[in-house]
Amino acid sequence: MQIKNLMSEDLITIDKDQNLSDALKLLRKHNVSRLPVINNKELVGIISERDIANKLGSSKYESMPASRLHVSSVMVKDVFTVPKTMQLDEVAKIMLEKGIGSLPIVDDDKMIGIVSKADFVTLAVGIAFDKITVKEIMSDDLISVSPSERLVHARRQMIEFKVGRLPVIEEGKLVGMLTSKDLMRAFIDFRKKVPEKYQKSQIKEVLVEDIMSSNPIFTSKQTNISEVAKIMMDTGFNGLPVVEDDDVVGIITQTDILRLIEKLES
């Protein structure tokens, strides 16, 4: 299958000179996690929730409101694109090798669509994926945080290990999830509520439990990939903790499913 048959043609873009507040409104309105950035209709970058969370949480920008930051100062400038005729497995391989969540699709150097890991997940529903279980593709190399850890520490964990979500574990039990989206919203709300002169000291007092999502959805090793894909599609979650006998034993993400599809397609 060529990637043009999977890509989304409903392009939601933002200009590089718009401010971060505009990007946040678009992300929220359209329930997407990243936006292509344009300049005079030309693709010049990509901005994602993770990029925003990383920037807003940095010491350099910790007290600067989103309305004063331009998209161009946060976006990733080195954008990879692929032609609409490229095969699915080739596109998946590029996304895995480059560690990126989406790829703009071009035709004659013009952006005509975009494909994300979430689009690939829609392919993982059917008989072939009913026979594959979570334990076969999940990651048991788990990066997690505790509810009592500081938010700034959780942000550093996400950056260091290049992940967009962290299971929150207390005494071996899953008590919540923390995502890039949670971080992004927390940093924005913090700026609105706390006077600028107090922000540098008070941000260190914000804990994971203050912003994490409680009662997280999880799965088991025996669940088949079709079921996991359906949960991801229904909820918009891009990763699910794997729990056995009340213990967190791993995590399965859109990246794991993308890797499986790349393997099967090739």
CATH code, 43: 3.10.580.10
pLDDT of residue 223: 98
pLDDT of residue 57: 83
- Pick from 90, 121, 152: which residue ends a domain? 121
**Together in a domain, 144 and 243:** yes
What domain range is 26 assigned to?
Answer: 3-121
Contacts of 245 (CB under 8 A, 6+ apart): none
pLDDT of residue 253: 97
Q: What average pLDDT does the segment 32-50 reach?
A: 94
pLDDT of residue 152: 92
- The 10s digit of each residue's pLDDT in 134-187 is 999 999 988 999 999 999 999 999 999 999 999 999 998 999 999 999 998 898
User: CA-CA distance, 162 to 187, in Å (whole number)?
Assistant: 19
Residue entry with tokens 């056995």: 244
Q: Could you tell me the CA-to-CA distances from 1 to 7, 104, 117, 123, 243 in Å, in that order? A: 11, 17, 16, 11, 35
**Together in a domain, 223 and 107:** no
- Pick from 121, 136, 168: which residue ends a domain? 121
**Together in a domain, 175 and 66:** no
pLDDT of residue 36: 97
Q: What average pLDDT does the segment 206-220 reach?
A: 95
Q: What average pLDDT does the segment 105-119 reach?
A: 95
**Together in a domain, 146 and 233:** yes
Structural domain contains residue 193? yes
Closest to 47 in 3D by CA, of 188, 254, 56: 56
**pLDDT beyond 80 at 65:** no
**pLDDT beyond 70 at 194:** yes
Structural domain contains residue 258? no
pLDDT of residue 63: 65
Structural domain contains residue 265? no
**Together in a domain, 160 and 222:** yes
Structural domain contains residue 66? yes
- Pick from 83, 98, 121: which residue ends a domain? 121
pLDDT of residue 85: 97
pLDDT of residue 212: 96
**Together in a domain, 103 and 201:** no
**pTM for this prediction:** 0.90
Residue of 63 and 24 predicted with greater confidence: 24
Q: Could you tell me the CA-to-CA distances from 101 to 43, 77, 117, 238 in Å, in that order? A: 17, 15, 6, 10
Structural domain contains residue 261? no
- The 10s digit of each residue's pLDDT in 170-180 is 998 999 999 99
